Amino acid sequence: MRIFKIFCILFAAFTIGAFSSCSEDIDTSNRYTFVGETMGDFLLNREDRFSSMIKIFEQAKMMGLLSTYGQHTLFLPEDTAVTIYLREQYELYDSTLNDPNAETVWTGITSPYLEDLTDSMAVVIANTHLVPFAYEMVDMQEGVLDTRNYNSRYLSISYAVVDEMSRTLINNQSGIIEGDNLVENGVVHVVDAVVSPSTNTIAKHISDQPFFSLFSAAIQKTAFDDKLSDYALQLNGKDYDLGQKYATCFQCGDAKQLSARYPHTYFAKYTAFIEPDDVFAENGINNIDDLIEKCYEWYGREDELEFTSPKNALYKFVAYHFLNRELNYNLMVQYKLEHDSYKSEGERGLRADIDRVDYFETMLGTLVKVCKPLSSSKPEEYQNLFLNFSHRSTKQEFMRKHLDVCIYDMTTFNNMDEKYADFTQSALNGVVHPINRILVYNEAEMQGNVLNERMRFDIASILPELTTNGVRFGRWQKTGGICSHGDYNVPDGYCKNLVFRDKSTVWHYFCPYSWGCNYLGDEIIVVGNYDFEYILPPVPAGTYELRMGYTATSIRSITQFYFDGKVTGIPVDLKIYATDDRIGWIADEDTEDNGVENDKVMRSHGYMKAPDSYNGQSKAAPARSQSGAIRIIITQKYFDAGEHRLRMKKVDLIEKREFNHDYIEIVPKGIITDPTRPEDRH
């Protein structure tokens, strides 16, 4: 008899459409405001309702945390809900215990009685319900809370209509029945059920859903579940324990910076985009053999019967549906995100009519485009998220059904059909997103259509580990002079696409904050005698221009760039402002043609103005109008289908200088040279 031990991994890792408007119709009839109480007081003053959670928090030795200064969110189930939860979890375990044909489900609960709860399970339950940031109901949006709970798991937010009123659901299982109980150290939301996230791996989570049976069969056929089993990772051969430590201070210029935090965790997680069986059926695919035949049409017949081969068509189809990072619905692209303690938007003043776009490497080794098309005039488009969205018509007839793939939000999906009502997205090591069309990668179509555009990659987006572990999309918070939460020191070996060639390299990620002139608000600063390189995103083969966005200040250094190991141009002095004659920047309003001729002059010097799609330091004017915000043209090269690397090396001898970079752009040559389709200034 096999024992399902995912719970043990979970605890060990801890110690390291139709309803789219429901979110605006929140039931406010059961809200209370309390002044002078802490969360601990809130529980103890209502022992008749919350005695079970009091015992759990006491057993977990966390009542002190609930009574001290800070800002937290507590989702608080009443005694009846805890009793039901313990009984259900015990019955789930007990029902498989003596069945020789069943895989025993280890829930961590082997008794229905609270007094038998183990200390480890008390910790898990307590930490599941507590989030280290205060969220009132108005702050909750479709997707997930953007701060992980004390179990390092995201809590999902969706909505359902109960008794003709909108109910906010946590993990699609726990409804808020008394919201926004404000206390001195945060906010308490009373819920009608214990929050109990899945302890299944992502492959098991998919296979447990009867409406994903066809895709699950494809996973089994290709043995792709073996590729989706990682969770807690080791760094340099050791269990990751840096999350409780501070990095050393560094100094640039005359200003001593605050100590940074190391990333709190080091998890491997995955994102799945999965077609329900009904979507396959609409396309005449009713069983695994039908799907295999279609895959041969889409991907060819190489290694035809070797389904576990990466060259096999079914394997390619499955691999293109997975990312090696955790991407939750509201954290895929920058849209209406609030990040810092002043609640300024992490979008950093992006123009309202600009599509929110990001590109991610799939486990096929190719890109998928995620887009919220805000420039569209069609509500059914700009209100949703899409995969491989294109404003242009497809050149290949068969691809018409495989572009503009809508990603369902959970409120819509759960309410589409009764069979989807109980579905939750979150697995132990990832998240599952249902989609409305069959997702297929076609090289010619992607190269000539979807990816035939200027591709801008925020530096953090090319490092999956930062998204998975809550570094990207994190919050900037000052913490008493010890460190800045939001300033992370990313250690050597942490990111597979970031290689330190000199061990003195110190690589800092700054979460979106209220100053600076940065795309999406975040920023990368590298200090020391740095020498490092990125593995670039895998674009389709072709000739591209490679650029980098940065801001110039007096404490920057001189840097030599390399592409695929070869020097590109002369060393670049990142201190000089764009008004320097070596760059040639002139404000658009000081020209007679709104900067058109000046753009040509700057390009001849190897530079470009910053985009006008986002505002800079004051949020009052586009970054393009600021002489400190610059794009440098690094090289124009042919990118073959293999791996490509961008290396940056400090070449001056001045100490206490830094390298700043914000984003890279990979731009097809045809966009730059075609006068009928000039590259947009933004």
From 4-18, 156-170, 261-275, 498-512, the region with the lowest mean pLDDT: 4-18
Mean pLDDT over residues 586-599, rounded?
93
Query: What's the pLDDT score for residue 636?
Result: 96
CATH 2.30.180.10 fits 3-191, yes or no: yes
Task: Please tell me the distance from the alpha carbon of residue 91 to that of residue 501, in angstroms, as a whole number.
Answer: 54
Average per-residue pLDDT for the chain: 87
Q: How large a percentage of the chain has pLDDT more than 70?
A: 87
Contact of 630 with 578, CB cutoff 8 Å: yes
Mean pLDDT over residues 458-480, rounded?
83
DSSP code, position 342: T
Task: Please tell me the distance from the alpha carbon of residue 493 to that of residue 499, in angstroms, as a whole number.
Answer: 7
Mean pLDDT over residues 34-43, rounded?
85
pLDDT band at 587 (very low <50, low <70, confident <90, very high): very high
pLDDT band at 334 (very low <50, low <70, confident <90, very high): confident
- Which tops the pLDDT comparison, 120 or 614? 120
What amino acid occupies position 494? Y
Mean pLDDT over residues 476-489, rounded?
59
DSSP codes joined into one string, 605-652: TTEEEPPSSSB-TTSSSBGGG-TTEEEEEEEEEEE-SS--EEEEEE--
Beta-strand pair 430-434/270-274:
parallel
- 655 contacts: CB under 8 Å, gap ≥ 6: none
Residue 282 host element (H or E): helix 277-282
Rounded to two decimals, the pTM is 0.90
Q: Provide the H-helix boundaries in 469-507.
A: none
Among residues 246, 244, 310, 334, the alpha carbon closest in space to that of 15 is found at 244
pLDDT band at 261 (very low <50, low <70, confident <90, very high): confident
- 380 contacts: CB under 8 Å, gap ≥ 6: none
Placement of tokens 């018409």 in the chain: 400
Query: What's the pLDDT score for residue 438?
Result: 98
- Name beta bridge partners: 181: 188
pLDDT band at 263 (very low <50, low <70, confident <90, very high): very high
Domain boundaries, the chain: 3-191, 203-222+267-442
Query: What's the pLDDT score for residue 532?
Result: 98
By the 10 Å C-beta count (0-12 exposed, 13-18 middle, 19+ buried), 493 is classed as middle
Query: Looking at domain 203-222+267-442, which CATH architecture does it have?
Result: Roll (2.30)
Using DSSP's 3-state secondary structure scheme, residue 510 falls into strand
pLDDT band at 655 (very low <50, low <70, confident <90, very high): confident
DSSP codes joined into one string, 14-83: HH--TTTTGGGSB--TT--B-SS--HHHHHHTTHHHHHHHHHHHHHTT-HHHHTSSS-EEEEEE-HHHHH
> Quick one: how far is CA 525 from the chain centroid?
21
pLDDT tens-place string over residues 388-424: 999 888 888 889 999 999 999 999 999 999 999 999 9
Placement of tokens 């969706």 in the chain: 158
Task: Please tell me the distance from the alpha carbon of residue 387 to that of residue 371, in angstroms, as a whole number.
Answer: 6
- Name beta bridge partners: 535: 645
Mean pLDDT over residues 609-614, rounded?
89
Provide the greatest CA pair distance for the chain: 83
Q: With 50 as the cut, is the pLDDT of residue 22 above it?
A: no
> Quick one: how far is CA 448 from the chain centroid?
27
| Token reading at 406 | 């809508």
pLDDT band at 379 (very low <50, low <70, confident <90, very high): confident
| Token reading at 110 | 């082997």
- Which tops the pLDDT comparison, 482 or 454? 454
DSSP code, position 376: -
Mean pLDDT over residues 29-43, rounded?
71
Query: What's the pLDDT score for residue 1?
Result: 32
> Quick one: how far is CA 97 from the chain centroid?
37
Among residues 430, 467, 469, the alpha carbon closest in space to that of 263 is found at 469
Mean pLDDT over residues 483-510, rounded?
88
Contact of 193 with 279, CB cutoff 8 Å: no
- 263 contacts: CB under 8 Å, gap ≥ 6: 242, 243, 465, 466, 469, 470, 471, 488, 490, 494
What amino acid occupies position 320? Y
- 121 contacts: CB under 8 Å, gap ≥ 6: 108, 109
Domains 3-191 and 203-222+267-442 equal at CATH topology level:
yes
